[in-house]
Structure 1
Amino acid sequence: MVYLNKDFIFYSRCRMSVYTGEYFKHVSDDALRAVYYTFTPKPLTGGDHYSIDEELCALLVETHRALGVLEGMSMYIADNEIIRELMLLQECHYSRQIDYEDSDLHSLLKARGNGRDFSAIKNMMNAYRQSVEFPVAIGALSAVCRTALHGAESTEDVDIRSNPIFITKAVTNLRQYNPTAPKDIRPSLIDIAQYWKQDNSDVLVKAALAHYQFEMIHPFDCYNGIVGRILISKALLSSHLNASHFLCPSLSLYNAKNDYFGILASTQRSGGYLLWIKFFIRSILDAAKRASGQIQDYQRITQYDKEKIRAHKASTENTLLLYDYFKEYLVSGIPRPAEVLHLTHATVSNAIKLLQESGILRQSSIGSRNRTFMYSELIDILSIDTESRY
């Protein structure tokens, strides 16, 4: 307690301000008495953080137009639930890829389609769904982090961290960014919640600032980036824009990962939010345009392939059943669809052979044992290369 009191006195006197927040100087409680700095972002409530210039105005107009197109499209698409689920899977996959070395998209789809464990992504998907119902509040954010980490059924406590986080492995006395000190986390999160309730700014700007603020605070011991990107989805869905269910901003951020981290970091040094806001809105614009193209391609491919199946003389009702399974799961072997659809292995094998002959499925494994098949055209829609196509 003595060290904490002394640390607080030193900390409160030794602070340096920049426009977007303040650096606070600390002295560690151990024998080394190491000096380090933490950054507490400026409160979002009650202040002017940016001014709209011509470029930002044009960006907002173009992005809302793209979201409007996606909104209209989402009202009438076939396979709405399947596409929403695939887009959420894509969002979670690339959000995790931003922060962690993880399996590729095909491996994820293979595990999902064969009924194997993909709990890391499944937990994140549940956290995204859960966030829609929750307010932007400390307890709700902790619950979302718990679900993303441990699953929807977990009762494990996930609370605000009680220790500092250092960006570099070595503690330095240089004034550089480290996330907000534990004692300042709670008031900083309360500020985000109040800003979200009270501010009438454009929802895209609000989402940009809320995400920036959360990332600077880093309130939890881990998964801060993932929860911060869930907050983006939460922010957009709170505007009652159904199109947000089909967005994958994390793919845009993943493809611009260096800029994403670089602009986030430079904002607290440069003293202005405008560069970050514009970068963020461009990411949403890219995601909206890409989603519209993905939905159009998905519908075009599935409609054409279904017509091919119906025109095939050997096609049966079971062929269409299996096709619908692959349309949803994209990658699978034989045992899992046989179990789910209550068909024999021979029936599934024959249906897969027909789908291969029709150019719809292709074998992705080597050899004749434990064969795996993939709906490659639909997988291509979700892959990282989609960024250059839409």
Structure 2
Amino acid sequence: MTNRLEKFQQGTYRNQGDFKSFCPSFINQKWLWEDAELNYLLAEANKELGGLNTYSELIPDIDVYIRMHIRAEANKSNKIEGTNTTLEEDMMDRENIPLEKRNDVQEVNNYIEAMNYGIDRILHDDFPFTSRLLREMHEILLQGVRGTHKTPGDFRHSQNFIGGSMPSNARYVPPSMADLDALIGDLDKFMNEVEAMPELIKIAMIHYQFETIHPFLDGNGRIGRLMVPLYLLSKKELQKPCFYISDYFESNRIEYYDRLQNVRENGAMVDWIKFFLRASIETAKAAKIKFKNAVEQVNKYNLYLINKKNNATSLQHILHAMYCQPVATSEQLSELTRLAVQTINRLVKILCADGILVEVTGNKRNRVFVLDDYLKVFD
């Protein structure tokens, strides 16, 4: 049976005593549409994604920049959930982070670990994109942070809700546990359905459905955003893990939530997909600019090194190490470069005097150095 997105049937509300839960319709169906703007946005998004793929294949050392890109994504995605750290703080040792921000930094680092785990499973283990992979990433995401008591790695066994203090006054109440298994089963089939359908349209619908099901007690937003690049990577729409949409969602947070809720209330799936495609277009464009700026900044450092003569090789070792870790102590740089700490201290003094590094603690000991202009490219 073929269904039209323009006539999307969103689902039904179920009485649960003093509140109603929303049970979305199954989405594992064949979908067609006639909306001309949607087709235009899809073509633009595919063009920009293809351009990003080409660009990522041509840039030397792109994997180094992608690691930083993932860090920036983790910071933005967790900001949507209420964390308040800078990219610089995310990369500091725990003892150099203010006490009130240490849990936030742990959440960001868990996000990075979950993302890298998913990438490794897809690229190296050839693992299918399924709810099992989402549960495995969820377990990593909630380790040792708020939500660690909320069954990491398992779908919920109790009712959750969004907004308000209880289900009866919540903005949105996801489906009950009785509906959960069938909904997840349908989503798994849709994610791996062989029926020809543009993958950007599918992941837009997958993201909506996942957030609407809200299958975990905590971490649904973060897992839902992690799904986007990992799904595209698993379907070979991305050649490298270099597409992260959280920045756009964070910058347009109110519209993002409103678009999702409008599907649940009014069946406005086409409008949600258009929003998602615009987000994809801007995300791909921003990623290309970010990688271009990173390459240009590295070229500036290379020109700087040409004039350093006797110290050029050792300074180059430090800068190369900091492309992956642009926030570091002397001891960390010593481990990364295998240069003696005394040598590192002498060289970072030169780099600070030349404005290449910035010392951010003001301490005489345990100082932290930042490759500032490079970090700003990703922040």
Secondary structure of the 1:158 match is coil
Corresponding residue number in structure 2 for 1:140:
133
The residue type equivalent to 1:94 in the other structure is K
Q: CA deviation at 1:174?
A: 7.3
TM-superposition CA deviations, 1:226-253 (whole Å, max 9, x none): 1111111222112213355111211111
The question of 1:19 aligning with 2:4 is answered no
TM-superposition CA deviations, 1:161-207 (whole Å, max 9, x none): 11111223444657963011111111111111111222422111101
Q: CA deviation at 1:320?
A: 1.0
- Evaluate the alpha carbon distance shift between residue 229 and residue 265 of structure 1 in structure 2; reply closer, same or farther with a 3 A threshold: same
Corresponding residue number in structure 1 for 2:4:
none
The question of 1:299 aligning with 2:295 is answered yes
TM-superposition CA deviations, 1:74-123 (whole Å, max 9, x none): 112112221111111111221111113232222112339x9999543333
Corresponding residue number in structure 1 for 2:3:
none
- Evaluate the alpha carbon distance shift between residue 98 and residue 149 of structure 1 in structure 2; reply closer, same or farther with a 3 A threshold: same
What TM-score results when the alignment is normalised by the length of structure 1?
0.84
Asked if the contact 1:37/1:176 (under 8 Å) is kept, the reply is: no
The question of 1:204 aligning with 2:200 is answered yes
Secondary structure of the 1:24 match is strand
The question of 1:187 aligning with 2:182 is answered yes
Q: CA deviation at 1:367?
A: 4.5
Unaligned 5+ segments in structure 2 are 1-7
The residue type equivalent to 1:141 in the other structure is L
**1:79 aligned to 61, 71, 86, which one?**
61
Q: CA deviation at 1:55?
A: 1.4
Q: CA deviation at 1:211?
A: 0.4
Asked if the contact 2:137/2:153 (under 8 Å) is kept, the reply is: no
**Superposed, which structure 2 residues align to 1:1-390 within 5 Å?**
19-27=9-17, 35-46=18-29, 48=31, 51-111=33-93, 119-132=106-119, 133=122, 134-150=127-143, 158-171=153-166, 177-198=172-193, 199-243=195-239, 245-383=241-379
Asked if the contact 2:328/2:368 (under 8 Å) is kept, the reply is: yes
Asked if the contact 2:21/2:173 (under 8 Å) is kept, the reply is: yes
- Evaluate the alpha carbon distance shift between residue 52 and residue 315 of structure 1 in structure 2; reply closer, same or farther with a 3 A threshold: farther
The aligned length equals 355
Q: CA deviation at 1:357?
A: 3.6
Q: CA deviation at 1:331?
A: 1.4
Larger Rg: 1
Q: CA deviation at 1:210?
A: 0.2
- Evaluate the alpha carbon distance shift between residue 253 and residue 244 of structure 1 in structure 2; reply closer, same or farther with a 3 A threshold: farther
Q: Give % identity.
A: 24
Secondary structure of the 1:71 match is helix
The residue type equivalent to 1:179 in the other structure is P
Q: Which portions of structure 1, spanning 4 or more consecutive aligned residues, are displaced by more than 4 angstroms?
A: 114-119, 172-176
Asked if the contact 2:53/2:238 (under 8 Å) is kept, the reply is: yes
- Between the aligned partners of 2:169 and 2:333, the Cα distance in structure 1 is 58
- Between the aligned partners of 2:232 and 2:84, the Cα distance in structure 1 is 27
Unaligned 5+ segments in structure 1 are 1-17, 28-34, 384-390
Secondary structure of the 2:15 match is strand
Secondary structure of the 1:150 match is coil
- Between the aligned partners of 1:92 and 1:171, the Cα distance in structure 2 is 29
Asked if the contact 1:20/1:42 (under 8 Å) is kept, the reply is: yes
Asked if the contact 1:236/1:244 (under 8 Å) is kept, the reply is: no
Asked if the contact 1:309/1:355 (under 8 Å) is kept, the reply is: no
The residue type equivalent to 1:165 in the other structure is N
- Between the aligned partners of 2:351 and 2:168, the Cα distance in structure 1 is 64
- Evaluate the alpha carbon distance shift between residue 175 and residue 352 of structure 1 in structure 2; reply closer, same or farther with a 3 A threshold: closer
What TM-score results when the alignment is normalised by the length of structure 2?
0.86
The residue type equivalent to 1:370 in the other structure is N
Q: CA deviation at 1:126?
A: 2.9
Calculate the aligned-residue CA RMSD, in Å: 2.6
